[in-house]
Structure 1
Amino acid sequence: MISELQNEFHDLPVVEFPTDDATPTPNPESPVAWRVSAESYDAPAEWPEVFAKFRAAVDPATVQAIVVGTWSDPYEKSSAHVVEALVAAADEFPNLRSIFLGDMTFEDCEISWIVQSDVTPLLTAFPRLEHLKVRGGTQLGLAPVRHENLRSLVVESGGLPNDVVWAAAGSDLPALTHLELWLGTENYGANSTVEDLAPIFGGAKLPALTSLALSNSDYQDAIAEAVATAPIVPQLRALDLSKGVLTDDGAGSLLAGQSLTHLGSLDLHHNYLSSAMQERFRAALEPAGVELNLDPEDADEDDYDGTVYRSVAVGE
């Protein structure tokens, strides 16, 4: 849910590191995910300053997860200074396994206003990192990498640049079990195509992948058609094509393609499927025990002067 701050991150409760000097720093007996934030507006301290206080107050060697909340003026100032601060302190965090960069709600900054930066240095500086989650696609950068230990990669965006999609698809991630890309809409900077996803569909660099989400896309029909014959599908247990502009055309191709009865779950909510198509999915997959999320009430078509407009779930 992007409308609420994360209260749990990879099975750890999220604890806010206090920025008020008068507030005592929590000292949890059990591991937690620490949220480190600076104020979005009129910040008394920049994020690296808050991070320095955090490192002085909490033994970095005990930290397993960091949730980066807001930084000062995230709608115009990129996350580069946040990434640089994390990378510079990498040696202090030998047990850091999870990073979430950009845990903000619309009250802090709309998702497509969040100015990100190149996050590749996080993967190179933290070779033991297992989970990386990023929110926001504006100015986001990523280069193809090989990472031996990354188990989940999640990028939530209203519009993902094609070079980031291409880099994620082209990365060599032998331990990755969950890949989630919110591809977004061209109205908010998305310019990828289904061809950019080809390495994911092939699966050669993703031998452990069991959960795949390619969602929130203008070209959801083309994705569904590619998935229908994608070599990676038999190894999946969860498939998510939700939040996009999937119609009966793409859904029909998906259903007519390779078997999906081995899946544990198939998420197609917030799409544009007819009642008849939804019933076809139920008849084909529910008897096999596949958990379906169709949720037909979430997506409404707008009809203006005879032209039908469809939109992704998350844009601005």
Structure 2
Amino acid sequence: MISELRNEFHGLPVVEFPIDTAPAPVQGPVAWRISVPTYDAPMEWPEAFEKFRAAVDPASVQAIVVGGWSEPYDTSSADIVAALTAAAGELSALRSLFIGDMTFEDCEISWIVQSDVTGLLSAFPQLTHLGVRGGTQLALHPVRHENLRSLVIESGGLPADVVRAVAASDLPGLTDLELWLGTEEYGGDSSAEDLAPILSGEKFPRLTRLALSNSDHQDAIAAAVAAAPIVPQLHTLDLSKGVLLDTGAEALLAGQSLTHLESLDLHHNYLSDGMRERMRAALEPSGVRLDLEAGNADEDEYDGTVYRSVAVGE
């Protein structure tokens, strides 16, 4: 569940663009958040964007955070993507872009209707950071992009086609990849096998931070990561927010060395106390920052079946 909006985006403070008044002067570069209410919006997002372009010099804009749009649970982000790509020539300094910065009060993450975002990467060849929240109707086609350094897709259920498209893309500058894989209940139908091109180490030669998180098959992902050729080049590994059991942690301990990592994030897990102690004993003496907090990982049992959930589903 997402309960707070971003107040910082890739080193820049997020400033809300007022859709009904003139914006106050800002000091230095900022990330402009452009949003309309998700319920009873006085205008559609593209109209708010037109107001933004008229009030702020587009050539000075380094970062845009797209917040809510009218009825995002029924209306896709297609018009937003179209408006941004049409203005690409004016947004010559844009380097960071996030689509869908909404809390659960605006729209639950699994209800956010996205669209094909491939055109954003084609329209903005100098873009270095792209983030997307919501997996419903999200589409991406394999693409080559020379300058993208970070790609973040947050979802309660990420379609396998999107995972495969990321894995098939040519992103030679990518250093940070974060995928919230989610659950099949909310459209997350990928498997650990779909991640194989990423884990091979051949696709993204500069990748140093990898997050494959929020999955209900986190054990299988952990087992794949344990033998993945990409691991030695990483300094940060994030397998958090999912259904990670002792089986997955055991695979990590039995696999290749992880002591070179600066950070291993396993928060929101279903590990036993004994396994947590084994993980600490194996990694913390080498200086690995280890997050093993269970957080909101709760088990429910019904009719003899134990139910466990990811951190961010609906």
Structure 1: tracts of 5 or more residues without a match:
none
Aligned to 2:84: 86
Equivalent residue in structure 2 for 1:226, among 224, 227, 251: 224
Aligned to 1:154: 152
Aligned to 1:57: 55
Aligned mates of 2:75, 2:201 — CA distance in 1? 36
| Contact 1:144 1:171 (8 Å CA) reproduced | yes
Aligned mates of 1:315, 1:303 — CA distance in 2? 19
Aligned mates of 1:140, 1:113 — CA distance in 2? 11
Partner letter of residue 278 of structure 2?
R
1:179 and 2:204 are equivalent in the alignment: no
**Secondary structure, aligned partner of 1:284:** helix
1:15 and 2:15 are equivalent in the alignment: yes
Partner letter of residue 265 of structure 1?
S
Partner letter of residue 17 of structure 2?
F
User: C-alpha deviations, 1:87-122, integer Å up to 9, x for none?
Assistant: 000000111000000000011000000000000000
| Contact 2:22 2:55 (8 Å CA) reproduced | no
Deviation (angstroms), 1:44: 1.4
Aligned mates of 1:122, 1:296 — CA distance in 2? 37
Aligned mates of 2:206, 2:251 — CA distance in 1? 26
Partner letter of residue 184 of structure 2?
E
Q: Alpha carbon RMSD of aligned pairs, Å?
A: 0.9
Aligned to 1:247: 245
TM alignment of 1:202-217, pairs within 5 A: 202-217=200-215
Q: Give percent identity, aligned residues only.
A: 75
Aligned mates of 1:280, 1:122 — CA distance in 2? 45
Deviation (angstroms), 1:29: 2.3
Aligned to 1:34: 32
Equivalent residue in structure 1 for 2:69, among 68, 71, 88: 71
Moved more, 199-208 or 294-303: 294-303
Deviation (angstroms), 1:27: 2.1
Equivalent residue in structure 1 for 2:168, among 161, 167, 170: 170
**Secondary structure, aligned partner of 2:84:** helix
Aligned mates of 2:299, 2:290 — CA distance in 1? 22
Aligned to 2:41: 43
**Secondary structure, aligned partner of 2:73:** coil
Give the structure-2-normalised TM-score: 0.99
Deviation (angstroms), 1:297: 4.2
Aligned mates of 1:29, 1:215 — CA distance in 2? 36
| Contact 1:269 1:298 (8 Å CA) reproduced | no
Aligned mates of 1:24, 1:90 — CA distance in 2? 23
**Secondary structure, aligned partner of 2:259:** coil
Partner letter of residue 185 of structure 2?
N
User: C-alpha deviations, 1:163-217, integer Å up to 9, x for none?
Assistant: 0011111111111111000000111111111111011101212011000000000
Aligned mates of 1:299, 1:48 — CA distance in 2? 39
Aligned mates of 2:223, 2:136 — CA distance in 1? 28
Aligned mates of 1:306, 1:73 — CA distance in 2? 40
Matched residue pairs, number?
Answer: 314
Aligned mates of 1:93, 1:214 — CA distance in 2? 31
Aligned to 2:290: 292
Equivalent residue in structure 1 for 2:127, among 126, 129, 133: 129
Given the superposition, is the C-alpha separation of residues 73 and 200 from structure 1 closer, same or farther in structure 2, using an over 3 Å criterion? same
Deviation (angstroms), 1:303: 1.4
